[in-house]
């Protein structure tokens, strides 16, 4: 899909011209000239669409009117939503060349919406889906188009790689992808080096698989870098549960358990194109698989993490926090001011927030607030969950410093307090995308599969 800008879309020949209509307002002159839309009870509610034939009255073959809801409630997030819905409709009617002639500025949010609406993962289908070829926006600044495009590419990259089967998106593949990005300093640590670094928790998880673990560290250094942040993505390329094997129905989508890693990869790739100044961003992934192979770690094992703390394995299916524990220790030693980890971490977070919102925790209220604000402005729904000290009680172990799981209840917070044990001297936010990273049925503007959760928020967080 190619994005163009023109101030004169009304005179361009296109398959469809898309026009915005706010709720409760009079129809614009263009539509009125072609058709009296009021007759058809089009109310302009958010996301409503209405298709008109133009019969040669204007250069476009058709007009798609999209409802934008109430004018005073309109936000950039709604622009993304409305454009994405319009694009879905345009693909249904096999449009190829379209123009968006919105009366409000579409900006970056509109461009992102066009790519979200157009996305499907059809690599393995012999019959491909319809896609728009050319989208021309009026009322958009060239630099907003560029920025929107880079954000959308980051999202699409993350979605593609998270949608891939585990047989394709292996730890080795993630490492190859990381190394292929130009403009970053990237180091991939092999198993022997990971052993030397003392990452006993992460290595234990990796042991049951024939796929070797890869510890990936990417670094972006902007001009005059002052702010230093690290983004850690959970990179479980497949989570079978390990010896505490998952039931078949829960295992089916566990190829998505590297969605945090996919997000970080997408973000790092986009940073090389955005070239933001004043920041240094580290992207970290402890990639591996959780499998019940003959060398697998077992319930009752005691592991020693990089910071020397010991963990009794209560359940091998609580593996993500073990890999993140060592990655957090590593990140805290980089001299960064802030660390964000993003992970498909707990089923409990899905129970709490469903697939609608991402769970957010952390050790610094100011940083949490900043993160939540950035998420909101990025069009991603996030919700803070508590990290009361008492959640630690359920992690008490008789034989080690802690267990890796506690009570089934409050599981998202228990995982949060577990991770906190491995954070030292930095501000930290933990982002649980277990419910939002992968959709088992279409929801809102997203189709089945990976959503690229976190990409927009982390990109804005790094660059704002």
Region of 70-78, 165-173, 315-323, 420-428 interacting with ligand BES (CB under 6 A): 315-323
Of 101, 211, 257, 280, the one binding Zn ion (CB under 5 A) is 257
Q: Are 433 and 259 in contact (CB under 8 A)?
A: yes
CA separation for the pair 253, 449 (Å, rounded): 9
Which of 205/332 has CB closer to ligand BES? 205
CA distances from 374 to 90, 339, 370, 371 (A): 31, 15, 6, 5
Stretch 213-232 residues interacting with ligand BES (CB under 6 A): none
| Rounded least distance, CB 177 to ligand BES, Å | 21
Which of 117/171 has CB closer to ligand BES? 171
Q: Which of 171, 173, 176, 174 is nearest to 191 (CA)?
A: 171
Q: Contact between 315 and ligand BES (CB under 6 A)?
A: yes
Residue nearest to ligand BES (CB): 347
Q: How far is CA 98 from the centre of its chain?
A: 28
| Rounded least distance, CB 241 to Mn ion, Å | 6
**Does the annotation count 173 as an active-site position?**
no
Stretch 350-379 residues interacting with ligand BES (CB under 6 A): 350
**Does the annotation count 159 as an active-site position?**
no
Number of residues that bind Zn ion (CB under 5 A): 4
Q: Which of 321, 420, 427, 456 is catalytic?
A: 321
Instruction: Look at residue 19 and give the partner it binds from Mn ion, ligand BES, Zn ion, none, a contact being a CB closer than 5 to 8 Å depending on partner kind.
Output: none
Q: Are 214 and 188 in contact (CB under 8 A)?
A: yes
CA separation for the pair 369, 208 (Å, rounded): 39
| 3-state SS assignment for residue 288 | strand
| Rounded least distance, CB 295 to Mn ion, Å | 18
Q: Contact between 317 and ligand BES (CB under 6 A)?
A: yes
Q: Burial of 179 by CB count in 10 Å (0-12 exposed, 13-18 middle, 19+ buried)?
A: middle
Instruction: Look at residue 419 and give the partner it binds from Zn ion, Mn ion, ligand BES, none, a contact being a CB closer than 5 to 8 Å depending on partner kind.
Output: none
Number of residues that bind Mn ion (CB under 5 A): 3
Give the contacts of 261 (CB within 8 A, at least 6 positions apart). 174, 216, 233, 234, 235, 285, 287
Half-sphere exposure for 379 (CA within 13 Å, toward CB)? 28
The phi, psi pair for 403, rounded to 5°, reads -100, 160
**CA-based R_g, the chain, Å:** 24
Q: Contact between 341 and Mn ion (CB under 5 A)?
A: no
CA separation for the pair 72, 78 (Å, rounded): 12
Which of 117/320 has CB closer to Zn ion? 320
Half-sphere exposure for 77 (CA within 13 Å, toward CB)? 13
Q: Contact between 239 and Zn ion (CB under 5 A)?
A: yes
CA separation for the pair 385, 72 (Å, rounded): 31
Which of 7/249 has CB closer to ligand BES? 249
Of 15, 81, 211, 239, the one binding ligand BES (CB under 6 A) is 239
Region of 25-33, 201-209, 311-319, 404-412 interacting with Mn ion (CB under 5 A): 311-319
CA distances from 135 to 113, 371, 440 (A): 12, 32, 29
Give 3-state DSSP helix, strand, coil % of the chain, rounded to 5: 40, 20, 40
Q: How far is CA 190 from the centre of its chain?
A: 27
Region of 51-59, 69-77, 312-320, 401-409 interacting with Mn ion (CB under 5 A): 312-320
- Pair of tokens at residue 141: 């600044």
Of 30, 239, 326, 380, the one binding Mn ion (CB under 5 A) is 239
Q: Contact between 299 and ligand BES (CB under 6 A)?
A: no
Q: Contact between 118 and Mn ion (CB under 5 A)?
A: no
Q: Which of 4, 141, 191, 246 is catalytic?
A: 246
Region of 56-64, 112-120, 312-320, 329-337 interacting with ligand BES (CB under 6 A): 312-320
Stretch 313-332 residues interacting with Zn ion (CB under 5 A): 320
Q: Contact between 320 and ligand BES (CB under 6 A)?
A: yes
Which of 151/238 has CB closer to ligand BES? 238
Residue labelled with tokens 């902007």: 222
Please say whether the dihedral angle defined by the alpha carbons of residues 293, 299, 302 and 303, taken in this order, is positive or negative: positive
Stretch 394-423 residues interacting with ligand BES (CB under 6 A): 405, 411
Give the contacts of 98 (CB within 8 A, at least 6 positions apart). 14, 15, 16, 17, 18, 64, 90, 132, 134, 135, 136
Binding site for Zn ion (CB under 5 A): 236, 239, 257, 320
Catalytic residues: 246, 321
Binding site for Mn ion (CB under 5 A): 239, 317, 319
Binding site for ligand BES (CB under 6 A): 239, 257, 315, 317-320, 344-348, 350, 405, 411, 434
């Amino acid at each position: 899909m190619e994005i163009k800008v023109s101030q004169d879309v009304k005179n361009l020949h296109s398959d469809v011209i898309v026009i915005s209509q706010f709720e409760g307002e009079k129809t614009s002159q263009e539509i009125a000239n072609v058709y009296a839309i009021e007759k058809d009870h089009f109310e302009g509610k958010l996301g409503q669409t209405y298709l008109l034939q133009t019969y040669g009255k204007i250069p476009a073959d058709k007009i798609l009117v999209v409802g934008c809801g109430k004018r005073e409630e309109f936000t950039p997030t709604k622009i993304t939503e409305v454009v994405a819905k319009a694009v879905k409709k345009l693909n249904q009617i096999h449009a190829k060349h379209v123009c968006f002639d919105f009366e409000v500025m579409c900006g970056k949010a509109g461009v992102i919406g066009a790519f979200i609406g157009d996305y499907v993962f059809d690599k393995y289908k012999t019959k491909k889906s319809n896609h728009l070829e050319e989208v021309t926006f009026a009322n958009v600044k060239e630099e907003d188009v560029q920025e929107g495009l880079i954000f959308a590419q980051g999202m699409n990259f993350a979605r593609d790689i998270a949608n891939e089967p585990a047989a394709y998106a292996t730890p080795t593949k993630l490492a190859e992808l990381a190394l292929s990005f130009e403009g970053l300093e990237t180091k991939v640590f092999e198993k022997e080096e990971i052993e030397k670094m003392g990452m006993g928790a992460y290595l234990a998880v990796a042991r049951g698989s024939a796929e070797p673990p890869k510890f990936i560290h990417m670094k972006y250094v902007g001009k005059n870098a002052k702010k230093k942040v690290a983004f850690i993505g959970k990179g479980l390329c497949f989570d079978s549960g390990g010896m505490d094997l998952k039931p078949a129905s829960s295992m089916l989508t566990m190829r998505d358990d590297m969605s945090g890693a996919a997000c970080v990869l997408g973000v790092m790739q986009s940073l090389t194109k955005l070239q933001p100044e004043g920041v240094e961003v580290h992207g970290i992934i402890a990639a591996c698989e959780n499998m019940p192979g003959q060398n697998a770690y077992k319930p009752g094992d005691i592991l020693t993490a990089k910071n020397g703390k010991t963990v009794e394995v209560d359940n091998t299916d609580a593996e993500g926090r073990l890999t993140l524990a060592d990655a957090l220790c590593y990140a805290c030693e980089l001299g960064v001011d802030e660390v964000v980890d993003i992970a498909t971490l707990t089923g409990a977070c899905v129970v709490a927030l469903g697939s609608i919102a991402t769970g957010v925790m952390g050790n610094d209220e100011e940083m949490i607030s900043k993160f939540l604000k950035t998420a909101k402005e990025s069009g991603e729904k996030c919700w803070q969950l508590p990290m009361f000290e008492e959640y630690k009680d359920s992690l008490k172990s008789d034989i080690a410093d802690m267990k890796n799981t506690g009570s089934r209840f409050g599981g998202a917070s228990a995982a949060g307090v577990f991770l906190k044990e491995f954070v030292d001297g930095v501000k930290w936010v933990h982002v649980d995308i277990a419910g939002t990273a992968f959709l088992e049925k279409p929801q809102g503007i997203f189709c089945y599969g990976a959503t690229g959760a976190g990409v927009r928020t982390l990109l804005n967080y790094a660059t704002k």
